[in-house]
Structure 1
Amino acid sequence: MIAYQVVFHQIPTQKYLRGHNSSFGSLFSGISSNYDNDISFHPSDADTDNEESEDEFIEEHNVNFVSEMKYVVFNSQLKQLFNKCLGDNQCAAPVVELDYRHKGSLVIVNGTCLHNHHFEWRSQPLSNKMAIGNLLLAASILYSGNTYTTAAEFFDTFKLKFFSENDFYYIQRKYLLPVVNSMWNSQQQQLLSEYEGNTDLIVAGDGRSDSPGHSAAFGTYSLMDTKTNAVLATSVVKVTEVNNSYSMEKEGLIRCLNQLEEAHVTVTTLATERHPQISKLMKDEYSTISHQYDVWHMSKSIKKKRAAAAKRRECAELQPWIKSIGNHFW
């Protein structure tokens, strides 16, 4: 649930959290239950007798750990908190032994007082053996569009304890990305349900690759409602799924149209660039959809051809007219 809450702090969506339990005892229910594989947790570091009471404490107080204020604490200042016993007996005797352990941004302090009382203190709450601060840091990095490398350099310069790159990608893969996918699917279902029965849907489609030219490994294709600018469908295509990188755009369009068809959304008009494979596809397999060419791409093509022609001596007088021709075409 914390991962969901971070998403909504970054992307405010009021409706999505309705019906979700905010209890942190079931923090990641529905996403993953294999907590024993958490690489930031070591059984020898935990007091198993306190696990149930730990979750009860979280649920009882029902604290919103996403919006709760956090602070940077220096080690020298932290030590001042452990001059006296913090055990259950609260004898307030001097502490004679302290042991500090770190798990990412979490610090665990184990102490023993003069009367041989033992206590443990954690800088962060836990939920299902996961330090909530580690989860929130990983979520903040991903959902704010940053990278682990940039964040790690900042924390290292500041000498602030931080988790490893492996831990970051583990949290991202196991908790954060499933939340993003779940949120996207839920919003898309709600969005597409509003288009059922629409008889005048005009969409624009375009593809994008991870690198220019014909050496791209991945390509994305999206369909957008030209009236509302809402993205109705999107798909990711890997080059190994098609004959070559040039064919990824065609495959992406097919998947997007299939998504809309499965959602009972009917497209009446589609505007794309002048991709030969897409033109043939629309003519042969989607003849019921009016296929039109995107004006921007055509204007760009005209400008490019006029610019090339103007470089020839006999067409030099064309140069001042290039921009006006493009404007007229629009």
Structure 2
Amino acid sequence: MTTLTESSQLSDSFSTSTTGHTDKKYIVFEKNIMELFQRCPRCSKSPELKTYRRGTFLSIDQICHHCEFFRQWKSQPLIKSTPVGNIQLSAAVYFSGSSFYQVQKMFQAMRLQNISYSAFRRHANRFLEPAVIHSWHQLQDTEVESLRHKKVKLGGDMRADSPGHCAKYGTYSLMNLETNSIIDLQLVQSNEVGGSHNMEKEGLTRGLQLLESKGVAVDYIVTDRHPQIQKFLRDRKITHYYDVWHLEKGLSKKVAKAAKEKDCEVVKKWQRGISNHVYWCATSSSSGPEKLAKWKSVMNHMQNKHEHDNPIFPKYLHPDRNSTDRKKWFKPGTKAIQRMEKILVNKRVLNDVEKLSSRYQTSTLEAFHSLMLRFTPKNVVFPFIGMLCRHYLAALHFNENAGGTQARTTKGTLRYSIHYPKAKKGGYSVKPVKTKATYRYVHKMMSLLFEEVIPNPKPYLEELEKIPVPNPLSSAFHHPPLAEAVESYRSRFNQGQP
């Protein structure tokens, strides 16, 4: 019995027109397979068996020297000389956003035969990544075509592959806030724009240029309060609103810090109220001046004053009620009220409150960025095209499941779950339970892969090659020969030794 290695070449005569990628697969033990070939079907003698393996593929030649019977059995179909199972395993790992090395460890634990990493990368470069690029472009064209000659309400935000100014990649996402679907993704590498601090503006610029070239007009865009984005949209005369959560988060941190200061203990009693007030001002107002008037009223309200000088919002809206806690009111001229004035009604905050989004927020976009972690974990390094393709996969998954409905029990009752997030410090939040995610996009890409890309990869490779790939970050530095680097390493660590 002989075994060929992973790199063994199989004859082209094994090719078949039926790929079999839709067939069911089973885990079969080697001993059970070999039992089927222990006897010659013609003379019942013991034949000679030769086995050939290539990744997940197994071929057995059964040769009987007594009656000259011969047959060859193959565990799976082949496309030319490539086993279908090997390509499909690579596709399943890639399209599901999994890690090859994690799958490899699982296979090794079960002693399942596996393909090599070089085979996986070869499949990815020739077939899988072109299929992903084409699938995303098809979906994007459909989304954009439905928005042509319309004014779209956009949400925009960037997600970096690592925190701080050490990020290599920045991915700017544009979402249609009316449908919660991703309509564009722009991957920017830091050396394209002179540093990671410029990636967000560049990503938004490219995204808006693409939509403009396809005849899509922007009604307004909701983002965080990034200064570069503010100036860019102001110069472009695009209506810009701020996401409420980003402002509330920043203010809450400052208020919580002030509550720990001496003579400011009363601030702690108003932390939740101030946080809620930010959302109420944004969602209950129809104009910027109304948001400002309602926001400024909080300073009077904290001092137990419920009528205001501003004609837009002259009086509180809640019913009269006598508070049992008289110590919760701020007193004029105290350190506590001065700290609140400095935090809540400074010039920048007032300008930001006026531009808060009344209806749409970017919370769904934040959820998409959280989903990205499943496809591009921050502790794994990906090449540019690999990073781009995995982000496209995340967008395909998100868009397919963005309109998911709320799950119901067997009796038809809507399902909810209760959570105790760390940020609420013992508080809880209730969330509706969604129906299970679907993965139709994976099956569509599998069909595209075996029915179109593999038989004729050229047009799909040409589509991928149109994507400009920036030089690696290390390309700007000197690359010494390995021998020179090793010699330098040895001399540095062996100084003073004989």
Shorter-chain TM-score bucket reads 0.7 to 0.9
Match of 2:176 in 1: 225
Task: Tell me the TM-score normalised to structure 2 length.
Answer: 0.52
Count of residues in Structure 1 that have an aligned counterpart in Structure 2: 274
Query: Following the alignment from structure 2 to structure 1, what is the Cα–Cα distance between the partners of residues 95 and 269?
Result: 47
Counterpart of 1:160, as a letter, is L
Residue 65 in structure 1 maps to residue 21 in structure 2? yes
| The one of 265, 285, 307 aligned to 2:256 | 307
| The one of 108, 112, 118 aligned to 1:160 | 112
Query: Following the alignment from structure 1 to structure 2, what is the Cα–Cα distance between the partners of residues 92 and 238?
Result: 68
The SS at the match of 1:135 is helix
Change (3 A) 1:232 1:117: same
Match of 1:9 in 2: none
How do 1:1-330 and structure 2 match up within 5 A? 42-43=8-9, 45-46=10-11, 48=12, 50-51=13-14, 54-56=15-17, 58=18, 64-66=20-22, 68-85=23-40, 91-92=42-43, 94-114=45-65, 115-199=67-151, 201-284=152-235, 286-287=236-237, 289-330=238-279
- Which of 1 and 2 has greater Rg? 2
By how many angstroms is 1:235 displaced? 0.6
The SS at the match of 2:163 is coil
Identity of aligned residues (%): 33
Counterpart of 1:299, as a letter, is E
By how many angstroms is 1:42 displaced? 4.3
By how many angstroms is 1:145 displaced? 2.6
Query: Following the alignment from structure 1 to structure 2, what is the Cα–Cα distance between the partners of residues 256 and 210?
Result: 19
> Conserved in 2, the CA contact under 8 Å of 1:205 and 1:272?
yes
Query: Following the alignment from structure 1 to structure 2, what is the Cα–Cα distance between the partners of residues 78 and 174?
Result: 33
Counterpart of 2:260, as a letter, is K
The SS at the match of 2:47 is strand
> Conserved in 1, the CA contact under 8 Å of 2:6 and 2:116?
no
Query: Following the alignment from structure 1 to structure 2, what is the Cα–Cα distance between the partners of residues 319 and 292?
Result: 29
Change (3 A) 1:232 1:82: same
By how many angstroms is 1:155 displaced? 0.9
**Residue by residue, what CA displacement relative to the aligned partner does 1:148-206 show, whole Å, maximum 9, x if unpaired?**
1211111111111111122122212221121111111001101110001113x211100
> Conserved in 2, the CA contact under 8 Å of 1:41 and 1:130?
no
Query: Following the alignment from structure 1 to structure 2, what is the Cα–Cα distance between the partners of residues 197 and 254?
Result: 20
Query: Following the alignment from structure 1 to structure 2, what is the Cα–Cα distance between the partners of residues 327 and 156?
Result: 53
Match of 2:330 in 1: none
Counterpart of 1:65, as a letter, is H
By how many angstroms is 1:93 displaced? 5.6
Change (3 A) 1:96 1:241: same
Change (3 A) 1:80 1:311: same
The SS at the match of 2:179 is coil
By how many angstroms is 1:117 displaced? 4.1
By how many angstroms is 1:41 displaced? 6.3
Change (3 A) 1:92 1:205: farther
Query: Following the alignment from structure 2 to structure 1, what is the Cα–Cα distance between the partners of residues 197 and 46?
Result: 69
**Root-mean-square deviation (Å):** 1.9
> Conserved in 2, the CA contact under 8 Å of 1:85 and 1:119?
no
Counterpart of 1:99, as a letter, is K
Change (3 A) 1:92 1:224: farther
**Residue by residue, what CA displacement relative to the aligned partner does 1:223-253 show, whole Å, maximum 9, x if unpaired?**
1111111111111000111111111111110
The SS at the match of 1:267 is strand
Change (3 A) 1:107 1:64: closer
Change (3 A) 1:133 1:242: same
Query: Following the alignment from structure 1 to structure 2, what is the Cα–Cα distance between the partners of residues 92 and 69?
Result: 33
Instruction: Judge which range, 303-312 or 155-164, deviates more.
Output: 303-312
Counterpart of 2:26, as a letter, is Y
Counterpart of 1:103, as a letter, is R
